[in-house]
A and B are shown apart, each in its own frame.
Chain A
Amino acid sequence: MTFKAAVLVFPGSNCDRDCKTAVETTVNGKVDMVWHEDTTLPSGLDLIVIPGGFSYGDYLRCGAMASLSPIMQAVKAEAERGMSVLGICNGFQILCEAGMLPGALLRNSALKYVCKPIELKIENRKTRFTNAYGNAQSVWMTQGNGDGNFFADEATLKDIEDNNQVVFRYAENPNGSMNDIAGLINKKGNVLGMMPHPDRAFEDALGSADGGPLFRSLVGALQSA
């Protein structure tokens, strides 16, 4: 059975090809690129990826316009039916803006773009995105963004922690994110948003292959389902 993924393409997406390559390389998946003006998604999908980049330029709040795009309405509907959705970097911002994940991503605390390899602690290895990480306590991925500073109000933050929604935490906080949150999942467990890039960490030549298990987890979850 071939793993089938869709990668959304906004005019300012710049990690769309990276996400495609990552899925192809790690799980030999088939990937459809889906244009932002489309209103439907291909059938038989196992995963929707919202890639990094600057969707519509992001001169307004990052991801704010993209969250209202035609294709995002289809993504929301699919997510409600239980489809796996992975938002990376700008994709994470879009998921928060769309209300599919709690909280918001603010300007980095140093008010600068930060690009560097980041050590992540795996906080929840029971999700469909992390079950293949085995006993690994921490993983490395690179990260590059200007607005990766996770924020939520006190009640929301408590809710996130109480429900084990934090999937990845920074070992060293690079941007001021509350509770060192680098990636979190919705309550239902099918929508993951994260600032670090598994789509840039899928081969040793790239400095890390630690993004691989994330995609393999999804295949494993399908097979055991």
Chain B
Amino acid sequence: MAQKALEYGLKADEYQVILNRLGREPNDVELGVYSVMWSEHCSYKSSRLHLRKFPVTGPRVICGPGENAGVIDIDDGQACIFKMESHNHPSFIEPYQGAATGVGGIMRDVFTMGARPIALLNALRFGEPDHPKTRRLVEGVVSGIGGYGNCVGVPTVAGETNFHAGYNGNILVNAMCVGLADADKIFYSAAPEPGLPVVYFGSKTGRDGIHGATMASVEFSEDSEEKRPTVQVGDPFAEKLLIEATLELMASGAVAAIQDMGAAGLTSSSVEMAGKGGLGITLNLDKVPQRETNMTAYEMMLSESQERMLAILKPGREEDGYRIFKKWGLDAAVIGETNTSGNIVLLHKGEVVCDLPLAPLSDDAPLYDRPWVEPHAEAPISHADVPAHDLNAALLKVISCPDEASKRWLWEQYDRHVMADTLSDSSTGHDAGMVRVHGTKKALAVTSDCTPRYVQANPYEGGKQAVAEAWRNLTAVGAEPIAITDNLNFGSPEKPETMGQIVRAIDGMAEACRELDFPVVSGNVSLYNETNGISIPPTPTVGAVGLLKDYDQRVGFNKVQPGQVIILIGETIGEMGSTLYLREVCGIEAGAPPRVDLACEKNNGTLVRRLIKTGVAKGVHDLSDGGLLSAAVDVVLSSKVGLSLKNPTDLADHIFAFGEDQARYLIAVDEASAHLVVAQAAEADVPAAVIGVASGTDLTYAGLSLSITQLREAHEHWLPNYMAGKA
């Protein structure tokens, strides 16, 4: 068994803890249960200590981390439930199914709590375009995301996509789901009392995905292709049925507790429901609907077959359940009962195949204070080391590079309008996706952000920046930023340098969350993202939600009119380290990333939100990748209007144009209100300068002059050409 424990991913000392606790050797099924519950994926054993640094409460937080998803108050008795989760390893092995089931899994986390999913987002990181696997991975992941979300009928409204050699052997697929519920009808997983029926419903259990959670917790190597059988297969139609049946079952009043079968399937759902309730649970595995014959108890408990739920019903409500499951054509069975034993007992073919005390599964769960060293931080780069290049060529290069080029080829494969409440999406020229809260004047704004090259160059500042940019994107559409979910993607925590990245990125994120009143309400940690010993760039993705009380007050950068004046909000000192200009135009990947001054961030953003609310700001765009000119191009292309910009500072023209200083926005205002805005900004201690005007059909700046057509061509051509094999 000790050898088997190693094969199942348990360390020798972890196995010893189990032996000491049980006073005997666990059998195969029991070992399987322990190994998945104690996998990194389920136990957060390397990160838990540091996750405690996040602020998790706030006036709008209804439920923070620890449940299936986070819950926030969005007024009028309504709640928003959301979470982001990774499906990195499966997507690398089998991109279509890996990505599809990633979307399915995150939706289940949200509707399990009683919310109808109303928006999807995704954050994708692929290897360098020239890598032989990249094109096929992009193709598969994108069609998997679309194939699943489109069929279920939830709009995919926002996302981000990067390409970097650091992801060649380990892509990242992070999916986020946002749902809507009544604040007094949130469902939790803790079993409330003994003697209640445990009902399984949804798809049948097969042999797919066995030990998926364990796979997600180890490094990749050359033979990872052999792990293809551990990738689950998704059925979006079954998910659609599951959503409707689950919400109907909840509305019927029959549900006492509920949990989806996600990672570690039946094991994790039953252990969590009984464990959190301080009860015991007995399951008869003969009753589990099975897709294949002769399945062993071990296989059933470890299967990660998709689209399955476990519910504990209130006494005598089984018939309500069966009526609803029959209506939606779902398999269902009472497979067990809660009790006071404090143990999980599994029966199979008349034998007890598992009898484990539940408390130790969580109480004894390993918690590591992994050794870490201060991670490498890039030194600041001097302006003298950032050469000037022809501005026309430089801008075209920046807006057509893989990270910055239009991702139209991707998002045109996602249904962005189903549910008929989409106000903005990837195509519309807004910094965040927005969906209406159906039947109200409210809207939710959603965004996903991380700049991995900043985190790589300085995990602490990069962590801060990921949170700040999400906050800024919500601000830029006029929303009140409320809370975030985080998806922490890193390499092996057993390497002190990587662990240092984890620790310092979390420190930075936590500080930004505190300063911006932007608590973390849910999250996911994905470690061991490395192949053959090479770690991915640290990528702590932030998914964020904000609220607009009146969506008529929303703003984008798609309606800037000729004659409007362009004002730059925020200070520009010329942060050139780790910028796109430096990497794409100068070929240098170095330099300290832009500093994030959280007080400025808050102050500037507050002013921008006020200008939006009062109707003064007619167009708003935050400045991020590629700096001022890159943002200007977005405005030009979305609004179909030229911009004439100037450099009012002493900085060299290329520095002002491409610096990626934080806490900045471009805003467009009517000419008559421009001086007022500048005065208002001065009063609020916010740097603001008129830098140009909207006019004509060209973007002009310090000798640069490019037409809308030239800009569109440069921005749009890269990805479709690449996917067609031409780039």
Contact = CB atoms under 8 A, between A and B. Distances in A.
Tell me if chain B binds chain A. yes
Interface of A: 11-12, 14-15, 17-18, 21-22, 52-54, 56-59, 112-117, 142, 144, 146, 197, 199-200, 202, 205-207
A206 B422 contact: yes
A205 B436 contact: yes
Contact of A14 (B240, B436, B551): B240
A4 to B, nearest CB: 21
B83 to A, nearest CB: 22
B204 to A, nearest CB: 16
Interface stretch (B3-11, B158-166, B388-396, B408-416): B408-416
Contact of B419 (A17, A54, A114, A115): A17
B284 interface: no
A115 B421 CA distance: 15
Contact of B240 (A18, A54, A115, A142): A54
A125 to B, nearest CB: 25
A14 B153 contact: yes
Contact of B423 (A114, A144, A205): A205
Nearest to A202: B420
Contacts of B241: 11-12
A112 B150 contact: no
B150 A200 contact: no
Contacts of A52: 418
A14 B416 contact: no
Interface residues of B, number: 34
Given A11-B329, A114-B413, A21 B150 contact: no
Contacts of B436: 205
B428 interface: yes
A121 B143 CA distance: 30
B329 A18 contact: no
Contacts of A22: 420
Nearest to B415: A144
B413 A56 contact: no
Contacts of A113: 143, 146-147, 150, 413-415
Interface string B120-146: 000000000000000000000001001
Contact of B237 (A18, A57, A117, A199): A57
B151 interface: yes
Contacts of A199: 420
5 contacts: A112-B413, A113-B414, A114-B412, A205-B552, A207-B428
B551 A205 contact: yes
Contacts of B240: 11-12, 14, 54
B427 interface: yes
A52 B150 CA distance: 11
A-B pairs, top 3 by smallest CB distance, nearest first, are: A14-B153, A57-B237, A18-B420
A14 B418 contact: yes
Interface in B393-441: 411-423, 427-428, 436
A142 B421 CA distance: 13
Given A113-B146, A114-B412, A206-B422, A54 B237 contact: yes
A15 B423 contact: no
B414 A200 contact: no
A115 B411 CA distance: 8
B152 interface: yes
Contact of A144 (B236, B238, B329, B418): B418
A103 B485 CA distance: 48
Contacts of A14: 151-153, 240, 418-419
Contacts of A15: 153, 418, 420
Contact of A59 (B237, B417, B422, B552): B237
A178 B421 CA distance: 31
A58 B237 CA distance: 9
A52 B411 CA distance: 20
B143 A112 contact: yes
Given A12-B240, A116-B412, A116-B427, A144 B150 contact: yes
Contacts of B423: 205-206
Contacts of B238: 57
